[in-house]
Structure 1
Amino acid sequence: MYQTILTALNNGILTITINRPDKLNALNKAVIAELGQVLELVYLEPEIKAAVITGSGPKSFVAGADISEFSGLDSRGGEAMALQAQAKVFDKIENCPKPVIAAVNGFALGGGCELAMACHFRIAADQARFGQPEVNLGLTPGYGGTQRLTRLIGKGKAMELLMTGNMLDAGEALRLGLVNEVTAPKALLSRCQEILETIIAKAPLAISRIIALVNLADRCDPEGMAREARAFGELFDTADAKEGAAAFLEKRKPVFRGA
């Protein structure tokens, strides 16, 4: 079905693997287009409860954008490329009402680091490496790197990494809060599956509200507190909230149905 990605659905969790190992899974136009298509399915298909994004092969998650596609771009073309990718993929991941996590199995550089940061959180293999080396090409990040990196690790360290183009290893990424957990490479996908199985056992409507509200907080939206109170109130009218309270009082596990 796809030329540049692989997909597998297991217990409601869709694993999306960027499959260009000979190019270290670099993002080109085809990858962006196909990621956009599969993300539409994540949004729309009820059997998909969550998603994991990873890269094929032992070396790379995504080692950046495909630089061969940069030749001939002018200012308008470069801006259009960035805006289209943000809309089709990066912002769509960040705002997905279902949890999307990155399983970072190797190099996550440039667009790859930006792809991982767009996910709701990141689990890394101990061999993972992160960086935004666009400055080495005379460029800035274009897929949200300056914004999301600053929010995740703070202004000073983000300035340093963006201006030097240096890489972080997995341990330093964990210390800075860029990743949530570091695992052995063989355990990476199973650990992501385990975490997501815990999440998708919760009430889907509450999970979707949490994603939206945390994104508001991340952007320092002044309406965040009011929106939280509204969401809190709205959920009292759901069957899942009634089931959650009943299960608690009856000392049993709740069965949530997303209604």
Structure 2
Amino acid sequence: REQGAFEAMTDELENARFITIARLNGPVYGGATDLALSCDFRIGVDSARMFMPAARLGLHYYGHGIRRWVSRLGLGPAKRLFLTGATIEAAEMVRIGYLDEAVPADALDARVEALVDALGKQAPRVVESMKQVLNCTARDEYDHAQADNLHRASLNSRDIKEALAAFAEKRAPVFTGE
């Protein structure tokens, strides 16, 4: 089937090799809700709010967006937001898993930077491959052989050897992605 440009872009973002973070400094409406949901992490201000106006606009939302909402938030929250057009506040966005965190506006940049820093300390190939398997699992496309091959490859990587050496030497590992 042919995808629209926005649907294709959100799928590309969801499937990007690198980790993505949505930094939400205000309200999120319509397509922007799926754009942010396509990211691996969403950190927003504690004054954020969101709603999905598709039904009140007479728009049947594109399929991959609906799939993403259901796989990330669950059927109940997806139905509530899509079918009623209800506006929810940051605390509810965290409760249903839309936001990973809600922070005061003056702490937003520091919190995003802390997450970037934490992610940067992980083994890059493993982060990339686990993201792929997690996303496939969320879409009911889990491939055990693929996941097992990725696991086995990590057991023979230079990065795991470096992590074990760093642990023994009580130092931070220096990962190369090999």
The alignment's TM-score, normalised by the length of structure 2, stands at 0.92
Note the alpha carbon deviations across 1:53-104, whole angstroms, 9 max, x for none: xxxxxxxxxxxxxxxxxxxxxxxxxx96x522222x2111111111101111
For 2:33 and 2:150, how far apart are their aligned partners in 1?
A: 31
Cross-structure match for 1:126 = 46
Q: How large is the Cα RMSD of the aligned pairs? A: 1.7
**Higher relative contact order at CA 8 Å, sep ≥6: structure 1 or structure 2?**
2
Note the alpha carbon deviations across 1:212-251, whole angstroms, 9 max, x for none: 011011112241x332221111123322121112112222
For 2:159 and 2:41, how far apart are their aligned partners in 1?
A: 25
Q: CA deviation at 1:113?
A: 0.2
For 1:138 and 1:210, how far apart are their aligned partners in 2?
A: 38
For 1:106 and 1:168, how far apart are their aligned partners in 2?
A: 13
- Match among 70, 74, 79 for residue 154 of structure 1: 74
Q: CA deviation at 1:142?
A: 2.8
Cross-structure match for 1:253 = 172
What fraction of aligned residue pairs are identical, expressed as a percent? 32
Cross-structure match for 2:148 = 229
Cross-structure match for 1:207 = 127
Q: Aligned pair 1:84/2:5, yes or no? A: yes
Contact 1:106 1:127 in 2 (8 A): yes
For 1:141 and 1:106, how far apart are their aligned partners in 2?
A: 23
Number of matched pairs? 178
For 2:99 and 2:106, how far apart are their aligned partners in 1?
A: 17
Question: Larger strand proportion, structure 1 or 2?
Answer: 1
Contact 2:133 2:142 in 1 (8 A): no
Contact 2:123 2:175 in 1 (8 A): yes
The alignment's TM-score, normalised by the length of structure 1, stands at 0.65
Structure 1 unaligned runs (5+)? 1-78
Structure 2 unaligned runs (5+)? none
Q: CA deviation at 1:175?
A: 0.9
